[in-house]
Chain A
Amino acid sequence: MKTIILQMALPYIRFILIFFSVITLFRGHNFPGGGFIGGLMASGAFIFQALAWDVNSSRKTLRTQPSVLIGSGLMMALLSAIPGILTGKPFLTGTWVKIPLFADHTLKLGTPLLFDIGVYFTVAGVVLMFIYTLMEEWQWK
């Protein structure tokens, strides 16, 4: 799979994938999208790199271990359960904070968003872990 076209196009593909994965992530909640699909797209960016060059360079671009991604993602999801408990409702209850911006736009921030970001990281981490492991074993042979 080491073609020069893919290698050259890689920075653009990576940028587009990650950019749109973030957009999909934030579009989530009330529209199609969300953490799961976003995470898959983000992991796609790194998989392309692993295909175009090799696993090691992809790992270098990622900078951390996939397992760290999984851990932090799960931790975020777990944290999002806590505000519900603190306000006396069952855990995981959605709590929202509204921050007024200009005109009548408000920024709604809430625990479901945190949960979704957690999902995003977890999914990206899990997929990358699978792919890296399988590709590396392929290279041993």
Chain B
Amino acid sequence: MLALLVGVLSSTGVYLLLRRSVLKLVLGIIFLSNAVNLTIFIAAGLVQGKPVFVSEDAANPADMADPIPQALILTAIVISFGLVAFTLALKYKYFSLSDTDDLDELKELEE
């Protein structure tokens, strides 16, 4: 089920990336990075209903979820969050310079 979701997310992401509009590029980035995060999650093995944090006296590895993929995903989310914010700022700048959302319009600008 999740694997299917990854497939859908990443194909949508790629499609959006290939569009000319900058806003869709941002959306594509978000989709793709979420797809990859889910991939990590699945690849590292899903466990249901087990917390990462347990109290000190009950520390039995079988009762815990593997914390590393969660840490990896958290880091990846933070990074992609920064990237998206930066791309949005870039888009604003782009829009205020060219009054358009279309990447190809810029070709005329530079001549």
**Is chain B in direct contact with chain A in the complex (CB below 8 A)?**
yes
Report how many A-B pairs have Cβ atoms within 8 Å.
Answer: 20
Chain B interface residue bracket vs A: 10 to 19
Interface of B is mostly: helix
Are A134 and B53 in contact, CB atoms less than 8 angstroms apart?
no
Question: Is A31's CB within 8 Å of the partner chain B?
Answer: yes
With A31-B53, A137-B96, A140-B96 as contacts: A130 and B78 at CB distance below 8 Å = no
Q: Kindly report which residue of chain B lies nearest to residue A141, judged by CB atoms.
A: B96
Question: Is A64's CB within 8 Å of the partner chain B?
Answer: no
Are B89 and A134 in contact, CB atoms less than 8 angstroms apart?
yes
Contact of A134 among B56, B92, B96 (CB under 8 A): B92
Alpha-carbon gap, A130 to B78, bound state (A): 13
Are B85 and A134 in contact, CB atoms less than 8 angstroms apart?
yes
B contact residues vs A (CB 8 Å cutoff): 53, 56, 74, 78, 82, 85, 88-89, 92, 96
